Amino acid sequence: MAAERSLELVCPAGSLPALKAAVDHGADCVYMGFRDGTNARNFAGLNFDEAAAVEGIRYARARGAKVFVAINTYPEADSWPRWVSAVDRAAALEVDAVILADMGLLRHAAKHHPNLRLHLSVQGSATSYEAVNFYHEHFGIQRAVLPRVLSLAQVEQVIQNTPVEIELFGFGGLCVMVEGRCFLSSYVTGESPNTGGVCSPAKAVQWQETPQGLESRLNGVLLDRYAPAEAAGYPTLCKGRFEVNHETYYAIEEPTSLNTLELLPQMLDLGVAAVKIEGRQRSPAYVTQVTRVWRAAIDAAARAPQDFHVDSRWRSDLDKIAEGSQHTLGAYHRPWK
């Protein structure tokens, strides 16, 4: 008999095949976005139109999984109706929750769809229990996704002082910025990830083979240069290499994956409600591998947290798909804080 699941596993669904892969391999919840800039993974070929959304929700529900819709970018004055329409569409689809960041959209959802469960997106930048409680008192949010900049001690402080469920990122891309407050790419492209939905718009990305190596550019600005055998990641400004004091290195953020498997017993003990896997822009094969490993790990931790250890096979499987083939505990592990 399967172990009782006390920590929800929330997995990415950038496409219908990815959604099905997550559900088939043990996701408790999947999160998806509509095919426009209302979500923070607005890449060509990703996300859901109406037909795919209906089929995805039907598939997940038939197998006992929940579906969340991310509408987590910030509308501008001239585009407000598109974001409102996205909230209304999600409500009409009867999804299990919408993931919102903008206060105006939260107010619209709370007023017009009182039965719709509201989650505060990581883009909402709530880094304290006071911030989380503000959103709870004014808009009735039931869950908040915390930015990836807090230590576990700080997460504990939030959980102890709010009635709101707390969801943490457990695996995938690591962002050293406080999400929702990053304007780095707007300096180069003129488009903010907080409104356009992507850190590096595809139309601004350029690759070029040069005598010095493969170069990646964003709107003409050189971000990185790779040696022949070196893996090249999708170019974002924060993960570029910079020349500082005549040295060239990753001055802001190294390309590495967050991997918190070893912290699962502590998350359970703190009362974390859910662990989130990043990667709606990744393939169904990635979703399959990560979901399978994290399902096994969460179940093992729930059965015997005091005896939990990270299986070498789990680590090996995740190494194959980790960004830069490197793992970090990120901000969570700061024993001095």
**Stretch among 15-19, 164-168, 179-183 having the lowest mean pLDDT:** 179-183
Number of folded domains that form the chain: 2
Q: What's the domain range around 236?
A: 184-249
Distance CA 282, CA 292 (A): 15
What are the residues facing 30 on neighbouring strands? Answer: 11, 67
- Same-domain status, 192 and 46: no
Tell me: pLDDT of 1 over 80.
no
pLDDT digits (tens, 9 = 90+) for 136-177: 999 999 999 999 889 999 999 999 999 999 999 999 877 766
pLDDT level of residue 337 (50, 70, 90 thresholds): low
Q: Which DSSP string do the residues of 247-308 spell out, in sequence order? A: EEE-SS--S-EEE-GGGHHHHHHHT--EEEE--TTS-HHHHHHHHHHHHHHHHHHHH-GGG-
Arithmetic mean of pLDDT, 245-257: 82
Q: What angle do CA 260, 255, 197 make, to 5 degrees?
A: 90
pLDDT digits (tens, 9 = 90+) for 207-220: 999 998 999 999 99
In a domain, 337, yes or no: no
CATH assignment at residue 36:
3.20.20.70
Q: Last residue of some domain: 249, 268, 298?
A: 249
In a domain, 191, yes or no: yes
Give 270 or 196, the one with higher predicted confidence: 270
In a domain, 179, yes or no: no
Residue 201 belongs to what H/E stretch? none
- Starting at the edge strand found earlier in the chain, the sheet holding 221-226 runs 205-210, 213-218, 221-226
User: Can you give the pTM of this predicted structure?
Assistant: 0.89
Query: What's the one-letter identity of residue 171?
Result: F
DSSP one-letter code for 211: T
